[in-house]
Amino acid sequence: MPTTMMQRRPFYGLTSTYIVLLFLLVSSLFNAAAFAAQITIHNAEGLPLENAVVEVYYDTEANQPQEQNIYQRDAAFHPKVLTVPTGSYVAFPNKDTTRHHVYSFSPAKTFDLNLYLQETPPPVRFEQAGIVVLGCNIHDHMQAFIVVSDAPYAAITNADGTLTLPVLPSGQHRVRVWHPRLDDSQQRWWEGTITDTDQLDVRLELSALPPPEPTLSPLQQRFKDAS
């Protein structure tokens, strides 16, 4: 009987060790999550801003090029804002029953996809960092933006205007924020710094909303869609 108990003691000790290690692991993960850097984007009135692009610069490997889509449906681009690493390809599928003519005159990328319906043109490669404004030659109200980024981290805020950043090296890092309606007086980008544990709140001054498009009569709309 004593021999049996002597044989079991290491088992109980080993289990206790596992419990302690598991507790330490969970605690470290909780603490890392609790102190992860986060950025929240608001407008001047304090309302959260969706579709704000956040770039953070720090020493790490460059992001690999991607393949993404911006499709057209209901005479609108989806998504309205997309960010991709430099060298990425973006295709523009048409999911409408009317033709579209997608183009950009932006310095970062100029291209022209002539009228097409279901036959998606070859994807466009974006080799240069910058903001690419998209339009449609048939539907003037259609607009979208591609932010081509050479930053090691670039992402877009969600509906509540927040982003939880990846684990950053200790110290301060350059951070940039862009929004489609950012006031030109801010040179189109807000710039600042962030550390690996900051809870950064950025307020952006936005330009006024453009006036709404005039409402077309059914006959005018049919003529425009057919062109």
Is residue 89 within 8 A of residue 148, CB to CB? The reply is no
Q: How confident is the model at residue 30 (pLDDT cuts 50, 70, 90)?
A: very low
d(CA 107, CA 128): 9
Is residue 201 within 8 A of residue 157, CB to CB? The reply is no
Beta carbons within 8 Å of 87's beta carbon, 6+ residues apart = 65, 125, 126, 127
| 131 phi, psi to nearest 5 deg | -100, 125
**For residue 83, what pLDDT is reported?**
97
As a whole number of Å, the end-to-end CA separation of the chain is: 94
pLDDT in tens, 97-146: 999 999 999 999 999 999 999 899 999 999 999 999 999 999 999 999 99
Residue 60, pLDDT above cutoff 80: yes
d(CA 70, CA 76): 10
pLDDT in tens, 201-215: 999 988 876 545 555
**For residue 213, what pLDDT is reported?**
53
Which 3 state secondary structure label does DSSP give 190? strand
Return the C-alpha torsion angle 186, 187, 190, 192, nearest 10: -110
**For residue 139, what pLDDT is reported?**
93
Percentage with pLDDT > 90 across the chain: 66
**For residue 187, what pLDDT is reported?**
54
